[in-house]
């Protein structure tokens, strides 16, 4: 019988030569730790990060188009501090209060490549 443990990683697509911008946004702005890609995958480009106990893989896609609707949702503690950090870095933040009745506060942003990201905090 198969038992699902959880999500190992999320992969987001980005255009070729995205690595520098990805390192600034995901590494510097979000503060995620870059992790080495396996040697067998390094030639493909992209960059990987650790987010809590999961990984986020930024993968190169030649015919890249950003994900505007589909998105990962990252649970955080300290959403207001994250929002301030994003805004100081010039990232547009969209607040959404549709789950406020459930005690969930959330914001949406776009990464440098136009991919939609959600950050949410449970109160």
pLDDT in tens, 20-38: 999 999 999 999 999 999 9
CA of 79: how far to CAs of 74, 89, 94, 95, in Å?
10, 15, 13, 11
d(Cα 63, Cα 65) in Å, to the nearest integer? 7
Beta strands in the chain (DSSP E): 9-14, 33-35, 47-51, 54-60, 73-75, 94-96, 104-110, 116-122
Residues written for the chain: 123
50 vs 10: CA distance, rounded Å: 10
pLDDT for the residue 90: 97
Instruction: Please give the domain boundaries of the chain with CATH numbers for all domains.
Output: 9-122 (3.10.180.10)
Confidence (pLDDT) at 89: 97
As a whole number of angstroms, the distance between CA 117 and CA 94 comes to: 10
Alpha-carbon gap, residue 13 to 113, rounded angstroms = 8
- Model confidence, pTM: 0.93
pLDDT in tens, 97-119: 888 888 999 999 999 999 999 99
């Amino acid at each position: 019988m198969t038992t699902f443990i959880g999500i190992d990683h999320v992969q987001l697509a980005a255009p070729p030569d995205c690595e520098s911008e990805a390192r600034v946004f995901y590494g510097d702005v979000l503060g995620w730790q870059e992790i080495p890609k396996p040697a067998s995958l390094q030639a493909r480009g992209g960059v990987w990060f650790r987010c809590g106990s999961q990984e986020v893989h930024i993968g190169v896609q030649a015919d890249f188009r950003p994900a505007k609707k589909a998105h990962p949702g990252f649970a955080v503690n300290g959403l207001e501090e994250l929002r301030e950090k994003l805004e100081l870095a010039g990232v547009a933040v969209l607040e959404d209060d549709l789950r406020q009745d459930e005690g969930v506060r959330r914001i949406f942003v776009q990464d440098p490549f136009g991919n939609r990201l959600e950050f949410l905090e449970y109160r």
